[in-house]
Amino acid sequence: MAMLTTQAVRPIVALVVLMIASLSAAFAQIDAKNWGKNTSGLTLLFYEGPRQKSAQGTILMYNLLGKGFPADVPYTLWQWKLDSEPKSVMQGVSFDQRGVLVCSGRPGFCKGAGLNDPINIQATAASGEPKRMAVVSSDGKVAGFAEAVPFPIEASDHNCKLSVVRTDSLASAVMVRAIGFAPNQRLTLTIRSGTEEASTDKTVDSQGNWSGVVSVPLSGPAKAAITVGPVIGQGCKLTVSFDAGAGSNHPL
């Protein structure tokens, strides 16, 4: 599907070259500890456009779609990249009648190429790297968060799913998520890197899910092949593999 534009022929403009509105109003500070805590009744999602191959890796194009956000309110757009703190990247954004994040061009709001110009976000990503954005009101009382993993590290078996998401660029620690298991089931989580191996026992919640940050055994700066699993339970057996260490974060 094509990217969302007010004119079908309008060129896509990357977020990195959009002008940031010069607004003097203070805006709420968002830190990593508060990241992901959506205001009740709000949803914020990535909408992905066609991918394009390049010498620098696959070019990813996104719009943000919001639901439940109060209308006619200027918000701040935030981004949280790996190995850094959350950072505000644009002020005065808002949502149009379709729920698309735009620069409306009205007084007090950011300006794009025209009225209600969709904000197009361009990025590249490594395997298991999350893309994280947030839309937050100036007082911090209205906040929506979105995450996309363009190249997921995951495996499925029956109703069970195991996935790994980088928490830093070299995957020295990863977020492991196991879903679809029997409620309160005990799982053994094993991570292997070469001859090194570490195992821990985990118990899924009443919904059959577990997630947590796990350190990856890296013996040196060189790139290493990492295996998580097998994770066995409720007729499921799941294993995922990925690279960690120097060079593992090359865009795909």
Could you tell me which of 85, 141, 76 has the C-alpha nearest to residue 103? Answer: 76
CATH of domain 15-148: 2.60.40
Could you tell me which of 42, 41, 87 has the C-alpha nearest to residue 65? Answer: 42
DSSP secondary structure letters along 4-62? P-SSTTPPP--GGGSPPP---S------GGGTT-PPTT-EEEEEE---B--TTSPBEEE
pLDDT at residue 29 in the model:
79
Could you tell me which of 130, 110, 235, 229 has the C-alpha nearest to residue 185? Answer: 235
pLDDT at residue 22 in the model:
35
Domain locations in the chain as residue ranges: 15-148, 153-244
- Which parts of the chain have pLDDT scores under 70? 1-27, 220-221
pLDDT at residue 105 in the model:
96
The tokens of 50 are what? 């066609």
Could you check whether 15-148 and 153-244 share the same CATH topology?
A: yes
pLDDT at residue 200 in the model:
86
What CATH fold (topology level) applies to the domain 153-244? Immunoglobulin-like (2.60.40)
Strand order in the sheet with 186-193: 196-203, 186-193, 224-233, 236-244
pLDDT at residue 98 in the model:
96
